Amino acid sequence: MNLLAVNLPIVVLLPFVGAIFAALASKINRLAAAWTSGAVTLLALAFLSPAVSLPFAGETLVQSWAWMESAGLFFAFRLDGLALLFALLILVIGLLVILYARYYLAAKDCMGRFFAYLLMFMGSMLGIVLSENILQLVIFWELTSITSFLLISYWQHRKDARQGARMALAITGAGGLALLGGVLLLGHIVGSYQLSDVLAAGDLVRTHDLYLPTLGLILLGVFTKSAQFPFHFWLPHAMAAPTPVSAYLHSATMVKAGIFLLARFFPVLSGTPEWSWLVGGAGLLTLLIGAYTALFKHDLKGLLAYSTISHLGLITLLFGFGTQLAAVAAIFHIINHATFKASLFMVAGIIDHETGTRDMRKLNGLIKYMPHTAALAIIASLAMAGVPLLNGFLSKEMFFAEAVTASQANAYAWLIPVLVTLAGIFSVAYSLRFIHDVFFNGEPVGLTRTPHEPPRFMKIPVDLLVILCLAVGILPIYTVAPILDVAVTGTLQTTPPQYSLAIWHGFTLPLLMSLLALSLGVAVYYKRAWFFTTYRRYFQRINAKRYFNRLFKQLTRVAVAITRRFDKGSLQHAAVWVIAASVVIGTAGFMQFSSPLFGERPLMAADPVTLVVGVILMIASLLTVALHRRRLISLIIIGVVGLIIALGFVKFSAPDLALTQLSVEVVTIILLLLALYFLPQASPKEIGRRRLWRDALIALLSGIGVTLLTMMVLTREFDPISSYFIENSVPGGGGTNVVNVILVDFRGFDTLGEIVVLALAGLGVFALLQGMKLPAPQHDLQGRVWSLDAHPTIMQTLTRLLLPLMLLVAVYIFLRGHNLPGGGFIAGLIASVALIVQYLANGIAWTQQRLKIDMHWSIGFGLLIAISTGLVAMLLGYPFLTSAFTHLHWPIVGEFEVASAIAFDLGVFLVVVGATVMSLVQLGKLSTASHKADHPTSQQKESV
Amino acid sequence: MEWLIALMIGVMTASGVFLTLRARTFPVVLGLTLLAYAVNVFLFAMGRLNIGVPAVIEAERLAYTDPLPQALVLTAIVIAFGMTAFLIVLSLKARSELGNDHVDGLHLAQDEESLHATLPPRQADPKRHADHPFEQTDALIASTTTQPIQGERQQ
């Protein structure tokens, strides 16, 4: 098999599978989880490697399988330059983070959980960047939100971790919802959810009426994920995560997912004023706020978090400029930021690990204790500040150049280079603080232990990243140029514009801005006391977490208030809402039809007998209601209703239904009688008159509604599909009783489902009754003691005689079912009645001694037989539950027809008998048990 | 005839709905049973009313009633039984766990009082006033062990 046809889904799914192994491996050995994760990542890289050369050759690799074609959803993957760049970033930095985390996590931390989450995150992230289908992209997008939630809250015992995780989930989750809306709109405009089609439809999208809502929704997703103003505040709180997570998710990969989306949709959505204002505006504000705030954070990771926000703003602003060169700069800065920021986070983690604190007021002069780490941190910080010969300088230079270009746009655009330089100044200042405050500036304050260098392998990932910073900074052409070029091609979907990666461009305006930023940045850091005072006085009070929590609380309160209005924890209340709503909605629905209420179909004349019987039914229904508080009486009256319905089925050509209804009626009433024994014999009077009237009104309206609905149908002609069943019953199903043939043959699958439900109900009854203890009442409401004469002798004798007869009837009804009214359901019910009568008349203990069949087996075998008849048909190459029949000639009996459906019907029979008898006998046992508890004498009597 | 059937369905629905909205489990089960009857007859009536033409194939007959609604209703009847069985046992479970038969699992102290007030008087039995059925059982077990009451039973 050609690997290039399937390797991308393997790359994406491998980490998910690996997560399971990582979790399991940690049970064997703590460190095995780390090695498993590393191996999985390497394996994913190996699967990716055969395809790496394709984007360089200008090809886009697409691997697509239909998933839900009608919804436009494909299981589809794509590898172009942009996807390749991100996939490599995710996998390579992922590998370094795994190595780092293996040393970072303490002995008491659960390794398996951490690495399983991390791998799942890696898979989700790869899914985003490698998706060809944009709906599938949204699925992976949501998965990153969830896995990031799990990773942030990894230290579950810490309150800040839980709160930070919840905040991140709430914000990125809301953004994900908006993104889904945007993507749906985009697919609607384009007519396809495949990225190839979407990328080719830029002009169509930009001129479409729905462009603005589409853009807005997609940008909401982007801004929340990439921590752009005003959604930036979740990122600093997400720093409660373990540092490897911060390095991986919150600087190198996940927060770049939003940026990735900007790049992905750059050819489709960019180039309009709306794009420039929204994307550029958010980017510029985020850049400034992040750079300014970062300077004042005493927490190492807090400083890095705000710095990350500021750099994300920078990249967003570059995309906002909308030019091709700006896109080049943006992609370049993505690479650079990922390298220097990941290494800085790792350094912060090392310092935390070795000193036990991240507070820069305590950390001073660490260069003496950890010179190697200090050197790495200083180089990475300088790259962050944009010092020449480091990678940050190159992309920042390009950024300044683009800002200068953008200043021509309108009368106020000259502000852009000024503000951008301002942000540059602060970014130099906070980088300087990271270096000076931590590694110089006197001696450490109040540390509990003497810091020293971390284990060698913990530094190796940082070493590699810092070497990369230097290599790219000094020799850009030989290091980053090819991948940058192919990534830009993938982003723009055309050949990239001319750009230069040279370090020296001569004395230009951007260089002046860089110098200005560097020198003024040093000055700001020198004068930091004044800046700290102003920050404390004016800005420190602004705490986004407080606003967020308040908003969250209010939203919750509104949600709870709305829910409380409908759900008061009361079934009655809920039932009123459901029934009243269906009455109102049903009425409203029928109001819209203009056609007359009733049709033209001629009505049948009512004969007097039917009329009288029908009126008796109505009276019985109403009496059930009127006397419902006297439960025994109402139960007897409801039996009248059921029996009249059975008569009605006889009258209106439904013998099968009549037989079923009759036997079910018997079983139901016995069941309810048994249960009633344990319930209060009467209901208390209700005090609320208003509630009674309200319920009566709802009931009346429902009754009128249903009556009218029935009449509307019955007065109209119809064209049933049943002629098919009637015509094919004999030739196709081999039976003349069409109802039974439908049940066991035409719609056999439905019937299978229904007997499964019945089996579950029977087993559910059994399970519920296990170990239930209910006190038996001593006497009825009138104070009469319950009769202890449990088993009248005449009835005992009669039922024993009747049993074989009744079973014979059941067999007869079963066998003739295919051709005459009867069948498995009815025969099963008749057999159940026959058995239940034995239990009732002779007692459970007596009957069980003689009838040693466990009803569980009956249910199980019934289902097994029913399913295997279907499977046999499948084995013979027919669809599930196809039946066959033949005519056999039996001696004496004569011509006899055998249909395979009779085996299915046997399954139905067994399930019905099993479920019915089990329900009743279990309930009966309960009363026997309570009798025994109450009446020691009756126990003796029964054992006789 | 159609009006009669429609009215029957309507009355059963109305009665069923009213009982379903009651506060005690037993009337609710009865109400749901009535509703199930109404739904079954309604479904059955969708095949229109036909007299004397059951859907059993005979050589010399041309007219047959619609067998499809019948097949649907047949299983619906059996399933309604399964549901009733499950519900009633669920209500027993609720009574055994919560000590009352209110649909919301509430134990209202005035229950027994209101029974007194509205139903015919019965023999005074202090044991019935215990708040919880378990306490009742305990009391009963205690009474059977301390004072033999078989004599009363055998009368």
Tell me what pLDDT residue B138 has: 41
Whether A197 has a pLDDT exceeding 70, the answer reads: yes
Q: Is A191 left (phi over 0), alpha (psi -120 to 50) or beta?
A: left
Measured CA to CA, the distance from residue A742 to residue A858 in angstroms comes to 24
Tell me what pLDDT residue A615 has: 94
The tens digit of pLDDT for each residue in A797-851 reads: 888 899 999 999 999 999 888 888 888 899 999 999 999 888 888 887 888 888 7
Whether A27 has a pLDDT exceeding 80, the answer reads: yes
Tell me what pLDDT residue A756 has: 93
Tell me what pLDDT residue A531 has: 86
Give the percent of chain A with pLDDT over 70.
Answer: 96
**B59 contact residues in A (CB cutoff 8 A):** none
Q: Identify the band that residue A934 occupies on the pLDDT scale cut at 50, 70 and 90.
A: low
Burial pattern A325-340, b for ≥16 Cβ within 10 A else e, equals bbbbbbbbbbbbbbbb
Closest CA to A222 of A267, A272, A275, A273: A275
Q: What token pair was written down for A719? A: 């064209």
**B119 contact residues in A (CB cutoff 8 A):** 629, 682, 781
CB contact under 8 Å between B140 and A775, yes or no, is yes
Mutate to test the interface with A, among B43, B92, B123, B138 (most CBs of A within 10 A): B92
Burial pattern A460-476, b for ≥16 Cβ within 10 A else e, equals ebbebbbebbbebbeeb
Burial pattern B22-37, b for ≥16 Cβ within 10 A else e, equals bbbbbbbbbbbbbbbb
Tell me what pLDDT residue A534 has: 86
Measured CA to CA, the distance from residue A476 to residue A88 in angstroms comes to 18
The tens digit of pLDDT for each residue in A754-784 reads: 999 999 999 999 998 887 877 777 666 677 7
* Residues listed for chain B: 155
**E strand or H helix at A251, and its extent?**
none
**A656 contact residues in B (CB cutoff 8 A):** 70, 74
Measure in Å the smallest separation between the Cα of B15 and chain A Cα atoms: 6
Closest CA to A832 of A891, A908, A915: A915
CB contact under 8 Å between B92 and A768, yes or no, is yes
Burial class (CB in 10 A: 0-12, 13-18, 19+), A600: exposed
A227, A315 contact by CB (below 8 A): no
Whether B136 has a pLDDT exceeding 60, the answer reads: no
Q: Identify the band that residue A20 occupies on the pLDDT scale cut at 50, 70 and 90.
A: very high
Measured CA to CA, the distance from residue A32 to residue A112 in angstroms comes to 8
Tell me what pLDDT residue A895 has: 64
Mutate to test the interface with A, among B9, B21, B125, B131 (most CBs of A within 10 A): B21
Tell me what pLDDT residue A229 has: 87
Across A39-48, A76-85, A231-240, A587-596, least confident range: A587-596
Strand-pair category, A61-68 with A73-79: antiparallel
* Residues listed for chain A: 944
Handedness of CA B43, B47, B49, B54 (dihedral sign): negative
Tell me what pLDDT residue B147 has: 38
CB contact under 8 Å between A604 and B96, yes or no, is no
Closest CA to A261 of A150, A183, A147: A183
Across A85-94, A553-562, B124-133, least confident range: B124-133
Measured CA to CA, the distance from residue A94 to residue A37 in angstroms comes to 10
Torsion angles phi and psi, residue B56, rounded to 5: -120, 120
Closest CA to A740 of A654, A834, A861: A654
Tell me what pLDDT residue A729 has: 84
Pick from A394-408, A495-509, A694-708 the range whose average pLDDT is largest.
A694-708
Average pLDDT over residues A236-248: 90
What does A690-719 look like in DSSP terms, one character per residue?
A: HHHHHHHHHHHHHHHHHHHHHHHHHTS---
**B134 contact residues in A (CB cutoff 8 A):** 773, 775
- The nearest alpha carbon in chain B to A693 belongs to B18
Torsion angles phi and psi, residue A397, rounded to 5: -60, -45
Closest CA to A735 of A632, A817, A620: A817
Tell me what pLDDT residue A257 has: 93
- HSE, side-chain direction, 13 A CA sphere, residue A929: 15
Whether A648 has a pLDDT exceeding 60, the answer reads: yes
Burial pattern B76-105, b for ≥16 Cβ within 10 A else e, equals bbbbbbbbbbbbbbebbbbbbeebbbbbeb
The tens digit of pLDDT for each residue in A322-356 reads: 899 999 999 999 999 999 999 999 999 999 888 88
Of the candidates A631, A645, A700, the beta carbon closest to that of B14 is on A700
- Domains of chain B (ranges plus CATH)? 2-106 (1.10.287)
The tens digit of pLDDT for each residue in A113-142 reads: 999 999 999 999 999 999 999 999 999 999
Whether B116 has a pLDDT exceeding 60, the answer reads: no
Of the candidates A631, A661, A775, the beta carbon closest to that of B136 is on A775
Measure in Å the smallest separation between the Cα of A677 and chain B Cα atoms: 10
User: Taking each helix axis from N to C terminus, what angle separates A415-439 and A281-294, rounded to the nearest 10 degrees?
Assistant: 30
Average pLDDT over residues A449-478: 89
Tell me what pLDDT residue A893 has: 59
Tell me what pLDDT residue B129 has: 42
A214, A204 contact by CB (below 8 A): no
Output A537 or B133, whichever has higher pLDDT: A537
Output A699 or A729, whichever has higher pLDDT: A699
Q: What token pair was written down for A193? A: 């959810």
Measured CA to CA, the distance from residue A111 to residue A431 in angstroms comes to 33
Measure in Å the smallest separation between the Cα of A653 and chain B Cα atoms: 4
Measured CA to CA, the distance from residue A246 to residue A109 in angstroms comes to 17
Output A887 or A400, whichever has higher pLDDT: A400
Whether B131 has a pLDDT exceeding 60, the answer reads: no
Whether A636 has a pLDDT exceeding 70, the answer reads: yes
Measured CA to CA, the distance from residue A325 to residue A398 in angstroms comes to 8
The tens digit of pLDDT for each residue in A83-107 reads: 999 999 999 999 999 999 998 888 8
Whether B42 has a pLDDT exceeding 90, the answer reads: yes
pTM: 0.71
Average pLDDT over residues A396-403: 90
Q: What token pair was written down for B111? A: 């229950």
**Alpha helices per DSSP H over A105-201:** 111-130, 134-152, 159-190, 195-200
Place of tokens 């095949």: B47
Whether A899 has a pLDDT exceeding 80, the answer reads: no
Torsion angles phi and psi, residue A620, rounded to 5: -65, -40
Measured CA to CA, the distance from residue A615 to residue A605 in angstroms comes to 16
Tell me what pLDDT residue A932 has: 61
- In 10 A of CB B113, how many CB atoms? 12
CB contact under 8 Å between A912 and B19, yes or no, is no
CB contact under 8 Å between B67 and A725, yes or no, is yes
Q: Identify the band that residue A790 occupies on the pLDDT scale cut at 50, 70 and 90.
A: low
Whether A795 has a pLDDT exceeding 70, the answer reads: yes
Across A53-67, A190-204, A600-614, B125-139, least confident range: B125-139
**B9 contact residues in A (CB cutoff 8 A):** 706-707, 710
Of the candidates B26, B70, B78, the beta carbon closest to that of A758 is on B78
A625, A692 contact by CB (below 8 A): no
**B122 contact residues in A (CB cutoff 8 A):** 779, 781-783
Dihedral angle, C-alpha A285, A290, A295, A297, nearest 10 °:
130
The tens digit of pLDDT for each residue in A481-507 reads: 888 999 999 898 888 888 888 877 778
- In 10 A of CB B59, how many CB atoms? 5
A598, A715 contact by CB (below 8 A): yes
Whether A939 has a pLDDT exceeding 60, the answer reads: no
Closest CA to A777 of B23, B133, B110: B133
ipTM, interface predicted TM-score of the complex: 0.76
What does A582-631 look like in DSSP terms, one character per residue?
A: HHHHHHHHHHT--S-SS--PPPPPPPHHHHHHHHHHHHHHHHHHHTTTBH
- The nearest alpha carbon in chain A to B108 belongs to A684
Tell me what pLDDT residue A435 has: 92
What does A748-815 look like in DSSP terms, one character per residue?
A: HHHHHHHHHHHHHHHHHHHHHHTT---PPPSB-TT-PBPP---S-HHHHHHHHHHHHHHHHHHHHHHH
- Radius of gyration of chain A measured on its C-alpha atoms: 39
Output A219 or A406, whichever has higher pLDDT: A219
Closest CA to A915 of A671, A740, A741: A671
Closest CA to A248 of A381, A352, A96, A355: A96
**SS3 readout for A177-208:** HHHHHHHHHHHHHHCCCEHHHHHHCHHHHHHC
Measured CA to CA, the distance from residue A838 to residue A832 in angstroms comes to 10
Which amino acid makes up residue B144?
Answer: T
Across A116-125, A215-224, A601-610, B24-33, least confident range: A601-610
CB contact under 8 Å between B67 and A739, yes or no, is yes
The tens digit of pLDDT for each residue in A923-932 reads: 888 877 766 6
CB contact under 8 Å between B84 and A702, yes or no, is no
- The nearest alpha carbon in chain B to A604 belongs to B1
Contact partners, residue A497, CB within 8 Å, separation at least 6: A324, A325, A328
Which amino acid makes up residue B49?
Answer: L
Place of tokens 């006391």: A529
Quote the mean pLDDT of chain A: 88
